[in-house]
C-alpha cells in the first residue's frame, strides 16, 4: 500500500490565490452563513479548455493500430486534442429570510460537455438540496448533493488547483454506471447514464463545531447509490461517514487558512445484469475509505490523501481500446467497458503549491494508483507527476496550465507481455483551462 509514502504531506499553503485547501465544504456547499439575509443569490462559472496528447496508437493486442482510450479527450474519446467547454454551471442559493434564516437551499445545473451531460442530457441538474439547521448539533440536508468523502470530490471544482483529477480519485471515486461486467461478446457495455460526480440523492445529518482555534465536523449520510437524477435501482442504500478536525489560522470561506485532517468511509452495493457470461441480476459490495490532510498558510499549501477500495472496481476497457471499436481478430471482437465485481485497489496523492506573487502560482502533484492489486495478471499501476501554473487575472478569473507525466505498467506480467506493450503507449498530457466565476 506504500502508506509510508502517503505521510509525506503537510507543507504550508497559499496567500492570494483562489485555492481552497483547509475550507469546510460541509458548511460552504448548502449552508448559508449565520445572519445571512440573502433569499436568492445567482452564481456560476464557465471553464473552456484545451487538451492535447500525441495520440500514440495501441501497439499490441486485438485492437493494435487503433486509438488508445487513455490518449483521447474525454468525454467523447474521439480526438486526442480538442477545445471543449469542460463545465458551464449556473445556480442559485439562499434561505427563507425573513421567515426562517435556518432553512437554506442550494440549486445548480450543468450545461458543459463532460461525463455528467455527455451520456445523459445536454443540461443536467447536479445539486438540489434543502438544509435545516434547527436541531442543535444535528443539521439535516436532504436532496441531491455532494456526499461527504474525499477532498478532491467534496471540494468545489471551481477552486480546484488542477485541471484533471488524480488517477486514484478518477478511477475509484468518480463512479461510472454500467449494466454488465463487460464479458458479453459483441457488446460495448457503454455507460448507462452520467458519471456519479461525487453526488448522491439522500439525507445527511451533520454539524460543524468550533472550540477555540479548532473546528470539528462530522457527517452521516444515507443515499441511493445510483448516481445523478435517478431512483435507487436495488433497494440497498449507501452509507457515508465523515469526520474532520481543523486548526484554523484565519480567513473565511474558501480562502480560509488552516491545517485540516479528515477521514471518511463509504459502503454500499451495486447491481450488474450479466457477469462472467451468466445472465441475471447480481449485487456486489462497493466499499471505499480514505484519510488525508490539507494545509494552507501564507504563500504555501499542501495536501495528501490515501484511498482504499474493496469490492466493485471500474476496470478500463478491452485492450485499452475505445468501447465500440472492432478488433482485427477472427472472429472480430468488440471493445467494451469493464467492471471488476470483486477486487481491491489503493492509491494516494501528494500536492504542493507556492504563490510566487499574488497573480502567479506554481503547483506540483504526484499520484499513484494500484488497480486490482489483488490480481497478478490484472493489476495496473498508474503513476503521474503533474506540473501546474495558475495565473490570476483577478479573484474570480484565472488561467491554469498543466503538464502531466503519465506512466502505466502491468507489474505482474513480463515487460514483453501484450498488456505492457499496450500501456507503454500512454502519452503525457497537456491541458490549458480558463475559469471565470460570476
Total count of domains within the chain: 1
Q: Which three cell numbers stand for residue 363?
A: 503547483
| Confidence (pLDDT) at 254 | 65
Supply the CATH number for residue 394's domain.
2.40.160.10
pLDDT tens by residue, 311-334: 999 999 999 999 999 998 878 899
Q: How confident is the model at residue 22 (pLDDT cuts 50, 70, 90)?
A: low
Q: Which three cell numbers stand for residue 5?
A: 509514502
Q: Which letter, b or e, does each residue of 142-157 get, where b requires 16 or more Cβ atoms within 10 Å of its Cβ? A: ebbbbbbbbbbbbbbb
Q: Which three cell numbers stand for residue 99?
A: 421567515
Q: Distance between CA atoms of 84 and 7, rounded to whole angstroms?
A: 36
**CB distance 338 to 182 below 8 Å:** yes
Whether residue 19 has pLDDT greater than 60 = no
Phi-psi bin for 94: left (phi > 0), alpha (psi -120 to 50), beta? left
Q: Distance between CA atoms of 354 and 335, rounded to whole angstroms?
A: 43
| Confidence (pLDDT) at 329 | 81
Compute the average pLDDT of residues 156-169. 96
Residue indicated by cell numbers 492535447: 52
Q: For residue 431, give the H/E element and its range.
A: strand 429-437
pLDDT tens by residue, 236-284: 999 999 999 999 998 776 678 999 999 999 999 999 999 999 999 999 9
Return the SS3 of 426: coil
How many other CB atoms sit within 10 Å of the CB of residue 281? 12
- The β-bridge partners of 412 are none
| Confidence (pLDDT) at 255 | 73
**CB distance 312 to 288 below 8 Å:** no
Give the CB-side neighbour count of residue 287, counting CA atoms within 13 A. Answer: 8
**CB distance 266 to 239 below 8 Å:** yes
| Confidence (pLDDT) at 280 | 96
Give the C-alpha distances (Å, rounded to integers) separating 226 from 177, 222, 323.
8, 12, 22
Q: How confident is the model at residue 34 (pLDDT cuts 50, 70, 90)?
A: confident
The mean of the pLDDT values for the chain is 93
CA-based end-to-end distance of the chain: 42
DSSP states of 296-358: EETTEEEEEEEEEEEEEEEEEEGGGBPTT-B-SSSS--B--EEEEEEEEEEEEEEEEEEESSS
Q: Which three cell numbers stand for residue 391?
A: 495565473
Q: Which three cell numbers stand for residue 394?
A: 483577478
Q: Which three cell numbers stand for residue 344?
A: 481491491
pLDDT tens by residue, 193-242: 999 999 999 999 999 999 999 999 999 999 999 999 999 999 999 999 99
pLDDT tens by residue, 109-162: 999 999 999 988 899 999 999 999 999 999 999 999 999 999 999 999 999 999
Q: How confident is the model at residue 5 (pLDDT cuts 50, 70, 90)?
A: very low
**CB distance 208 to 258 below 8 Å:** no
| Confidence (pLDDT) at 3 | 36
Which residue, 2, 8, 71, 13, is CA-closest to 259?
13
Q: What is the dihedral of CA 63, 64, 65, 70, to 10 degrees?
A: 70
| Confidence (pLDDT) at 119 | 85
Q: Which letter, b or e, does each residue of 352-365 get, where b requires 16 or more Cβ atoms within 10 Å of its Cβ? A: bbbbeeeeebebeb
Greater confidence (37 vs 86) lies with: 86
Q: Distance between CA atoms of 358 and 299, rounded to whole angstroms?
A: 9
pLDDT tens by residue, 347-402: 999 999 999 999 999 999 999 999 999 999 999 999 999 999 999 999 999 999 99
Q: Distance between CA atoms of 415 and 240, rounded to whole angstroms?
A: 40
Q: Distance between CA atoms of 348 and 293, rounded to whole angstroms?
A: 12
Contact residues for 373 (Cβ-Cβ < 8 A; gap 6+):
344, 345, 346, 379
Domain of residue 30 covers 3-437
pLDDT tens by residue, 102-111: 999 999 999 9
Q: Distance between CA atoms of 77 and 87, rounded to whole angstroms?
A: 17
Amino acid at each position: 500500500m506504500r502508506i509510508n509514502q502517503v505521510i509525506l504531506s503537510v507543507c504550508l499553503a497559499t496567500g492570494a490565490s483562489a485555492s481552497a485547501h483547509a475550507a469546510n465544504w460541509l458548511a460552504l456547499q448548502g449552508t448559508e452563513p449565520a445572519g445571512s439575509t440573502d433569499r436568492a443569490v445567482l452564481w456560476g462559472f464557465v471553464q473552456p479548455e484545451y487538451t492535447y496528447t500525441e495520440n500514440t496508437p495501441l501497439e499490441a493486442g486485438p485492437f493494435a493500430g487503433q486509438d488508445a482510450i487513455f490518449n483521447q479527450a474525454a468525454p467523447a474519446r474521439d480526438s486526442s486534442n480538442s477545445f471543449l467547454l469542460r463545465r458551464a454551471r449556473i445556480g442559485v442559493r439562499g434561505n427563507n429570510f425573513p421567515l426562517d434564516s435556518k432553512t437554506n437551499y442550494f440549486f445548480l445545473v450543468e450545461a458543459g460537455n463532460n461525463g455528467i451531460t455527455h451520456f445523459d442530457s445536454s443540461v443536467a441538474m447536479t445539486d438540489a438540496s434543502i438544509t435545516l439547521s434547527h436541531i442543535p448539533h444535528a443539521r439535516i440536508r436532504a436532496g441531491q448533493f455532494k456526499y461527504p468523502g474525499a477532498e478532491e470530490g467534496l471540494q468545489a471544482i471551481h477552486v480546484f488547483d488542477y485541471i484533471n483529477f488524480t488517477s486514484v480519485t478518477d478511477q475509484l471515486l468518480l463512479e461510472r454506471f454500467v449494466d454488465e461486467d463487460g464479458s458479453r461478446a459483441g457488446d460495448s457495455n457503454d455507460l448507462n447514464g452520467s458519471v456519479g460526480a461525487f453526488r448522491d440523492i439522500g439525507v445527511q445529518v451533520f454539524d460543524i463545531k468550533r472550540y477555540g482555534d479548532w473546528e470539528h465536523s462530522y457527517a452521516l449520510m444515507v443515499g441511493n447509490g445510483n448516481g445523478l437524477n435517478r431512483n435507487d435501482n436495488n433497494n440497498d442504500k449507501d452509507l457515508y461517514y465523515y469526520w474532520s478536525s481543523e486548526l484554523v489560522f484565519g480567513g473565511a470561506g474558501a480562502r480560509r487558512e488552516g491545517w485540516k485532517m479528515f477521514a471518511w468511509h463509504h459502503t454500499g452495493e451495486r447491481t450488474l445484469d450479466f457477469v462472467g457470461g451468466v445472465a441475471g441480476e447480481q449485487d456486489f459490495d462497493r466499499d471505499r475509505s480514505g484519510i488525508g490532510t490539507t494545509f494552507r498558510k501564507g504563500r504555501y499549501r499542501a495536501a495528501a490523501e490515501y484511498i482504499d477500495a474493496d469490492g466493485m472496481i471500474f476496470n478500463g476497457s478491452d485492450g485499452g481500446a475505445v468501447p465500440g471499436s472492432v478488433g482485427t481478430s477472427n472472429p472480430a471482437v468488440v471493445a467494451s467497458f469493464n467492471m471488476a465485481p470483486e477486487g481491491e485497489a489503493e492509491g494516494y496523492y501528494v500536492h504542493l503549491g507556492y504563490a510566487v506573487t499574488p497573480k502567479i502560482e506554481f503547483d506540483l502533484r504526484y499520484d499513484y494508483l494500484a488497480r486490482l492489486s489483488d490480481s497478478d495478471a490484472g493489476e495496473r499501476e498508474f503513476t503521474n507527476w503533474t506540473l501546474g501554473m495558475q495565473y490570476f487575472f483577478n479573484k474570480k478569473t484565472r488561467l491554469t496550465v498543466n503538464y502531466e507525466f503519465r506512466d502505466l505498467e502491468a507489474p505482474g506480467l513480463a515487460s514483453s507481455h501484450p498488456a505492457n506493450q499496450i500501456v507503454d503507449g500512454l502519452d503525457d498530457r497537456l491541458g490549458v483551462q480558463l475559469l471565470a466565476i460570476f
